[in-house]
Amino acid sequence: QLAHFFISEVAQFFIDKGTPTEDDKNAPQLSETEFTISTIESKKLSVLNYTDSITWVSSNTTIAKVNDQGLVRAVAEGQTSVYALLSDGKCLKANVTVTKSEYSMGDVNLDGEFDVADVVLLQKWLLAVPDIELKHWENADFYEDGMLNVFDLCMMREQLIS
């Protein structure tokens, strides 16, 4: 709770310090300022018209987390905000709504279950076996970096075993 309060207060300080007006077309702006994702999805945010460093912060990491590349990963149902704290002192805000997914993490073939078939499918996809399709690749991104590789496969196997 205290961390959530602190993050909100810091973000509000940056917002009060100076968020660009909508009239300024060359001002830094988020690729999206409001979006909805399900509990197994992620969305990549970026700051347009800005090339310096950005610190990404989620106001409630129990709802959604954001990594240092702006990849927002849903955790649980609810609403939160993601902030891009710019090195020039400005702050940009995106409102995030997370809805419950009918599928679970690991269910890459979308059959409603996370099982060995999903692990085998990911392994074949990583080995570039012809005609292999991942219906929902985000369900296999256990490493939460916005891409699939052997690290995700290892973490997926570990999750299945535990």
Q: What is the pLDDT along the chain (162 residues), one digit of tens a residue?
A: 445 555 655 555 555 555 545 557 789 999 999 999 998 888 999 999 999 999 999 999 999 999 999 999 898 999 999 999 999 999 999 999 999 888 888 999 988 889 999 999 999 999 999 999 988 888 899 988 889 999 999 999 999 998
What integer pLDDT is reported at residue 101 of this predicted model?
84
Rounded to an integer, what distance in angstroms lies between the CA atom of residue 63 and that of residue 17? 26
CA distances from 26 to 9, 22, 37, 95, 109 (A): 27, 10, 28, 22, 43
CA distances from 149 to 60, 61, 128, 137, 146 (A): 28, 25, 12, 11, 10
Kindly list the strands in the beta sheet with 34-38, ordered across the sheet, starting from the edge strand earlier in the chain.
34-38, 91-99, 78-86, 54-58
Q: What are phi and psi of 9, to 5 degrees?
A: -65, -40
Sort strands 91-99 and 34-38 into parallel, antiparallel or unpaired: parallel
What integer pLDDT is reported at residue 20 of this predicted model?
47
Report field, pTM of the whole predicted structure over 0.85: no
Q: How far apart are the first and last CA of the chain?
A: 30
Which residue, among 63, 74, 52, has the nearest Cα to 8 in the 3D structure? Answer: 63
What integer pLDDT is reported at residue 59 of this predicted model?
96
What integer pLDDT is reported at residue 69 of this predicted model?
93
What integer pLDDT is reported at residue 145 of this predicted model?
83
Record the tokens describing residue 75, joined without a space: 């955790």
